[in-house]
């Protein structure tokens, strides 16, 4: 498409981040200007700004600027700045604050994500009525005082179907407790499951303590969970694992199928939609501990004599055979570590190496990422990595945000080679 066509027929191709940076957008507009001037030297900065705005789904550059200023004011809890923007531009009150980024919703819903109660009251007084989405986001983000305020404004109705899902996705124990307090059921009158156990097990969130609490709340409110070693791990119940070990002395050597880890009867999905790092199908409890950040259970398994070099099953295509050390290199907890400001650490790598994990064991792996990681990563292709060591797995993996550099460093220090 020509540059002129891009201006006349722009297609939204980008999404604003949760908290967009106006200076960064200005730099993007200047970069786009240089690119467009290669073909049309007469193009002006205003043209590039307009094209960039339309690529984000905004009607104009000024509208994109308004969004950035509005979101920044909400984050800063600057009620006056928010009021001034909304009064001057009333359309902002009902449009998504992030334009094409719909998850955080219009300004009142956006403010509910952050628990900005004064801003919420002001926007409500100005006519905002996105109460249902606002309370949903408040619960999802564990802003329970905000959720209570919004719930009262709604007239304290029965919770809608699926009200537990948001808190399940973010593993919000307080959000789950609040929705259950409002009367949400975990089973229907026939005993059929209503609780989103699949979301709790398959979410990309990794908060083991909160996950344990949520599953126990489901049980306390009438849900029956499978009595399996894997579910005991998901629940954080070492006492139940002790029972399983007594009844099955081979438990520490067992591998578990994808369906045993993510039971279809609980609504669980395939290996792509069940968010995980290093593939878990055919792995042991120790592998699961790494990707689910269950360090206490990992220590328990090793104290009970589990061999850290126990390998996953190998499938019909020759993929698998990896040890838990591979999981420390590429995992879902690594994703959150790399995206946050927390100190980069590799406790599972250190634990396994201390217990004799082989740093040079080889395996073949394949991986396709969850569609939620698009467009940053290719989520259509299944990438294959054959005959790699843990170090090679990390060095070659295509999405580095899942890879732990501290883990790779520790493996190298213990003689690991690619």
Identify the pLDDT of residue 407: 98
3-state secondary structure of 272: coil
Identify the pLDDT of residue 102: 81
In 132-206 the beta strands, taken as DSSP E runs, fall at none
Tell me how far the alpha carbon of residue 402 is from its chain's centroid.
12
In angstroms, the CA 365 to CA 349 distance is 19
Own/partner contacts of 219-222, CB < 8 Å, gap of 24 or more, are 221/180, 221/185, 221/186, 221/195, 222/185, 222/186, 222/187
Cβ atoms of 268 and 201 within 8 Å: the answer is: yes
Q: Is 126 exposed, middle or buried (0-12, 13-18, 19+ CB in 10 A)?
A: middle
- pLDDT tens for the chain, residues 1 to 418: 444 444 444 566 788 999 999 999 999 999 999 999 998 999 999 999 999 999 999 999 999 999 999 999 999 999 999 999 999 999 999 999 999 878 899 999 999 999 999 999 999 999 999 999 999 999 999 999 999 999 999 999 999 989 999 999 999 999 999 999 999 999 999 999 999 999 999 999 999 999 999 999 999 999 999 999 999 999 999 999 999 999 999 999 999 999 999 999 999 999 999 999 999 999 999 999 999 999 999 999 999 999 999 999 999 999 999 999 999 999 999 999 999 877 889 999 999 999 999 999 999 999 999 999 988 899 999 999 999 999 999 999 999 999 999 999 999 999 999 9
Identify the pLDDT of residue 341: 76
Residue 399: closest CA among 418, 382, 416: 382
Identify the pLDDT of residue 54: 95
Residues 6+ apart with CB under 8 A from 335: 204, 277, 401, 402
Residues 6+ apart with CB under 8 A from 201: 234, 262, 266, 268, 274
Token duo for residue 106: 């219009």
Which 8-state DSSP code applies to residue 9? S
In angstroms, the CA 133 to CA 109 distance is 6
Buried b (16+ CB within 10 A) or exposed e, 336-372: bbeeeeeeeebebbbbbbebebbbebbbbbbbebbee
Please tell me the CATH superfamily of domain 226-413, with its number: Ankyrin repeat-containing domain (1.25.40.20)
Q: How far is CA 305 from CA 249, 298, 355, 361, in A?
A: 11, 11, 10, 20
Identify the pLDDT of residue 361: 98
CATH 1.25.40.20-classified regions of the chain: 226-413
In this structure, the chain runs to a length of 418
Q: How far is CA 291 from CA 26, 228, 288, 316, in A?
A: 39, 18, 5, 24
């Amino acid at each position: 498409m020509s540059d002129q066509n891009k201006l006349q027929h722009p297609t939204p191709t980008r999404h604003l981040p949760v908290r967009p940076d106006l200076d960064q957008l200005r730099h993007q507009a200047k970069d786009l200007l240089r690119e467009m001037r290669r073909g049309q030297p007469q193009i002006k900065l205003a043209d590039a700004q307009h094209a960039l705005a339309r690529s984000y789904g905004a009607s104009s550059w000024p509208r994109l600027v308004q969004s950035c200023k509005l979101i920044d004011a909400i984050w800063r809890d600057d009620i006056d700045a928010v009021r001034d923007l909304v009064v001057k531009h009333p359309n902002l009150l009902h449009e998504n604050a992030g334009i094409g980024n719909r998850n955080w919703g219009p300004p009142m819903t956006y403010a509910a994500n952050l628990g900005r109660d004064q801003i919420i009251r002001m926007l409500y007084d100005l006519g905002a009525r996105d109460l249902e989405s606002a309370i949903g986001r408040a619960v999802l983000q564990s802003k329970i005082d905000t959720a209570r305020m919004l719930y009262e404004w709604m007239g304290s109705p029965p919770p809608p179907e699926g009200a537990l899902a948001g808190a399940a996705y973010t593993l919000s124990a307080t959000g789950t407790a609040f929705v259950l307090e409002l009367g949400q059921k975990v089973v229907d009158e026939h005993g059929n499951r209503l609780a989103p156990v699949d979301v709790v097990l398959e979410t990309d969130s990794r908060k083991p303590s909160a996950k344990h609490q949520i599953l126990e709340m489901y049980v306390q409110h009438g849900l029956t969970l499978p009595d399996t070693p894997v579910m005991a791990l998901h629940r954080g119940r070492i006492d139940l694992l002790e029972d399983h070990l007594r009844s099955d002395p081979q438990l520490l050597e067992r591998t578990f199928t994808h369906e045993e880890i993510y039971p279809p009867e609980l609504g669980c999905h395939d290996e792509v939609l069940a968010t995980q790092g290093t593939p878990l199908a055919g792995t042991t409890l120790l592998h699961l501990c790494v990707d689910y950040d269950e360090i206490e259970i990992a220590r328990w398994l090793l104290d009970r004599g589990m061999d850290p070099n126990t390998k996953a099953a190998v499938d019909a295509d020759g993929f698998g055979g990896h040890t838990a050390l591979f999981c420390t290199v590429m995992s879902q907890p690594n994703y959150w570590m790399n995206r946050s400001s927390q100190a980069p650490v590799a406790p599972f790598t250190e634990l396994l190496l201390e217990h004799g994990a082989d740093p040079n064991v080889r395996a073949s792996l394949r991986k396709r990422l969850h569609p939620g990681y698009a467009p940053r990563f290719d989520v259509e292709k299944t990438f294959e990595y054959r005959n790699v060591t843990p170090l090679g797995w990390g060095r070659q993996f295509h999405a580095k945000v899942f890879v732990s550099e501290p883990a790779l460093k520790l493996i190298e220090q213990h003689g690991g080679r690619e």
